[in-house]
Structure 1
Amino acid sequence: IGFEQLDHAAIPQLRALNGSIHNSPSATAFVEIATNGSVEGRSYLDVLLNRYNGVVPALAPFELFEIIWALHHLSLNIELNSLRPAVDSFVEFLSCVWTEKGVGFSTTFVPDSDDTSLGLRLLYEMGLYVDPLVLERYEVEDHFQCLPFERNISLDVHIHIVHALKSAQDFPRRDDMLLKALNILGRYLTTEYIVDKWHVSPYYSTSHAIIGLLELSDNLIAKQIKWLLKTQRDDGSWTFYPHHPQAAIEETAYVLMALMAVYEQKGDIPIQAIDKGYRYLSQYYTSVETLPALWIHKVLYNPYHIVKAVILSTLAKYQDLRKKTTMVVM
């Protein structure tokens, strides 16, 4: 679209309370250039430029995304209630901004099924009820949309919807929604691993699928569990990018999360594989800021708080797991 094609009459409807055009610095800058500019648009851009030392992220702010994804990964490894009162303010904020459409990655952006499904799961886990019927807003004929008009299905969205529905056991439509999500996942879990459009590593989506489907549809994830075990490297790590420095640190954390979940539920994972993975992760992880960007948006990025929650909770989970066993780490 060129400057001359911009619908000036639509701008007020697109502008968020923070002055942005849908939380997009690039769209906001485009509108500022194409028009005579605005106080609110310029203020939004100036705040970002000052905060990020002259550069800006693809989208901002994204405060709900950080809260939801960090708490979700913590909850996969640790009982969230054990982290109270540290997590209470975040949970209260999520509850307060919940709408009839759920939530998005920010209070100044439209809701989506990804943030909504995980937000629903977190609120349930913390004893706060929200109506799972909100997921119907994202339901289409044979799958769930992340947002209207999306061009390709997100497998991670369906994994997260499974997580949410597993928590909502009294929801009348739980079973038929679960079946719809499982049917989509079943189409793609015929291969050893899966990839999605939000993260470059198949270890991310594959590990999350294993955790989500465990004890719900074990036959769908048997091949993926075997793939995780057979692709462990000699140093104990996992990575799809052996020539990308330090990518293995984040990837190894995801695999350990999945293998520890399977070990706890089924006990048929060699504990030595988990031990080796833990030794690698504990030895080489130093700072999340030094890790490569593996998450996908307009560019690759590294959401520090989320990745830190993944790694630290995985290390803590291993220590807790080992306390429950009589085996000694070799």
Structure 2
Amino acid sequence: MIVDEHGVLERMCALLPDLGNSRVSPSAYDTACLAMLRSPHGPGPGTPTFPQCARWLLARQHDDGSWGGTLPWPRERAVGTLAAVVALAGLTQEGHLPPERTAEAIARGTTYLGGIAAALRDASEDIVAFELIFPSLLEKATALGLPLPPAEFDWLHDLRRRKLRLLQQHRALGHAVHDLEIFDELPPGAVGAQSPDGGFGCSPAATARVLHDHPNPAALAYLRRTIDFCGHGAVPTIYPFGIYDRAWVIACLQKAGVDLPGMKPHITALAEAWGPDGVASESHGLPPDGDDTAMVFTVLRAAGHDIPADPLHHFRTPHGYTTYPMEMTASASCNAHILTALRAAARPDPDATQCAHDFLRRTRRADGTWADKWHISPYYTTACAVESLHGLDDDLCRPALTWVLRTQHPDGSWGSSAGNTEETAYALTILLSTEHPSGAAASRALARGTTYLARHADDEDHPELWIGKSLYTPLNVVRGLILSTLWRCMQAQPHPGA
């Protein structure tokens, strides 16, 4: 438990040296993709390149037979489970794993998939590239003779073919380098999209796909480093993401009003990443990203850098702002971050600001909240929106305050299901970012939430709430959010309670 501001500052200072190291939770899907790799990348012809990945999978199956994050997110669990079953079945059929170790796990996995097959079509919860990844894995499962109901998935095969045709119409590889495993044949330019660290698109799964066709010492070294980094034979769904790691945490600390010496090297690194087109990820194969560009711009402006807002305009469309080119569904959190950045510009552009403002007005839900494609929690997206609109359109945000007060749990926490520190921090951010609540109910909610956060600030068991090809937790980002929010709450509520 953290009892005072000194404890928060100590932990902030301890976090800063770790920024840029991209600490993130493991992914069953990506780990299974590595478990499918064979020599010539391994120690002998036809042997598994990463046998430790299969061991990790065998130890991480859920009680219901699935693999994936801790939350039962249907499409994420489906992808993780199908990938794990394909990997384990292939290793077993080739004689690399004894059937007595794998038969039950494979049977339970296929039973789980059969049980959710019909529900997948109508599932509202999605992950990145589900309609491309799952059918590709189904083809592998069919080739292995796994007992799955093929008719239940016909709609996915048709959708995959349509989406692949759309991708092939664009000459630039773009963000598809992050999803190279979806291609039966690697597209032109894929091999040349390798980043200096040896990876492709900051994605272990995409890198494994290239390595399967093109033996590559640098890609192999990248995957080995990623396994070592994550530990226990697993890999995350995205690695590295140093820019994202730095920008999100430093932005949180700046909002809290702290100025620690350890922040300066990270701000310098972000300034070096800034360019005329915005900010790209560590992978040279990825184009600039609207979300990262907005966050870095906001951080650099808060640090006193005189930089133009021109790169933000590259992401503008008639209907709002996009995260990346060819994006089919715009993101509310990205539009909120761009609105925040545009308002921080030295010479704000009212027309550009209005474009993001209008998007948020259109996408607010009836209960006063916002939802997003990059995070499963409405508390996250609503906090992003409310912060960006504060002082610009407070009337649009007031229903969110009512919603936050209504949804607090008895223990003072917030969460879409069980309460947790991350979603509690977002809810408290909403309270702190609306007009200072003077009502007794709002004051009590702030005090109770602050007490909960102080008691649980050092908890390390965070549910995976962020959406990629798997659900994941960017651990430094969540840690920075919790500490900075607690600091802000302690400033507003000097005595959070014990």
Q: CA deviation at 1:104?
A: 2.9
Aligned pairs for 1:57-72 (under 5 A) are: 57-72=236-251
Partner of 2:392: 216
Label 1:51 to 1:62 Cα distance change in 2 as closer, same or farther (>3 A).
Answer: same
Q: Helix, strand or coil: the match of 1:164?
A: helix
- Counterpart selection for 2:424 from 244, 252, 257: 252
Change (3 A) 1:52 1:299: same
For residue 266 of structure 2, what is the aligned residue in structure 1? 90
**Structure 1: 5+ residue stretches without partners:** none
- SS at structure 2 position matched to 1:200: coil
Provide the aligned length of Structure 1 versus Structure 2.
314
Residue 74 of structure 1: aligned partner: 253
Q: CA RMSD in A?
A: 2.2
TM-score using structure 1 length: 0.88
Q: Equivalents in 1 of 2:461, 2:308: separation in Å?
A: 40
Q: Which residue of 2 aligns with 1:144?
A: 321
Letter in 2 for 1:147: Y
CA distance in 1, matches of 2:344, 2:444: 32
Cα drift, residue 12 of structure 1: 3.9
The one-letter amino acid paired with 1:255 is: A
1:295 aligns with 2:466: yes
Equivalent position SS for 2:218: helix
In structure 1, what is the Cα distance between the partners aligned to 2:483 and 2:366? 30
Q: Deviations over 1:233-273 (max 9, x none)?
A: 2222211113xxxx522111111122123254x65673111
The TM-score normalised by the length of structure 2 is 0.60
1:4 and 1:253 map into 2 onto residues whose CA distance is: 43
Look up the match of 1:168. Answer: 345
Counterpart of 1:5 in structure 2: which amino acid? E
Select the residue among 391, 399, 406 that pairs with 1:230: 406
Q: Which of these residues, 189, 195, 210, is aligned with residue 31 of structure 1?
A: 210
Aligned-pair CA distance for 1:328: 9.2
CA distance in 1, matches of 2:446, 2:254: 19
Residue of structure 1 equivalent to 2:434:
262
- Equivalent in the alignment of 1:179: 354
User: Cα deviation per residue 1:79-111 (whole Å; 9 max; x = unaligned)?
Assistant: 2xx423110000001001211111134364431
Q: From the superposition, tell whether residues 150 and 42 of structure 1 become closer, same or farther in structure 2 (CA, over 3 Å).
A: same
**Which is worse superposed, 197-206 or 233-242?**
233-242
Structure 1 segments of 4+ aligned residues over 6 angstroms from their partners? 1-4, 327-330
After superposition, give the CA deviation of every residue in 1:210-255 in whole Å (9 maximum; x if it has no partner). 121111011211211111112122222211113xxxx522111111
For 1:298, give the aligned amino acid.
Answer: K
Hey, what does 2:445 align to over in structure 1?
Answer: 273
In the aligned structure 1, how far is the partner of 2:347 from the partner of 2:183?
52
Report the equivalent of 2:158: none
Partner SS for 1:237: coil
Partner of 1:241: 417
* Partner SS, residue 412 of structure 2: coil
Q: Name the structure 2 match of 1:205.
A: 381
Aligned residue number for residue 275 of structure 2: 99
Runs of 5+ consecutive residues of structure 2 not aligned to the other structure: 1-135, 137-181
Identity of aligned residues (%): 29
Quote the Cα distance in structure 2 between the aligned partners of 1:17 and 1:10: 16
Rounded to whole Å, the distance in 2 between the matches of 1:34 and 1:256 is 49
Amino acid at match of 1:160: H
Query: What is the one-letter code of the residue matched to 1:55?
Result: A
Contact 2:333 2:381 in 1 (8 A): yes
Indicate yes or no: 2:375 matched with 1:195: no
1:15 aligns with 2:194: yes
1:116-147: CA deviation from partner (whole Å, max 9, x where unpaired): 01110110000012210111111122211100
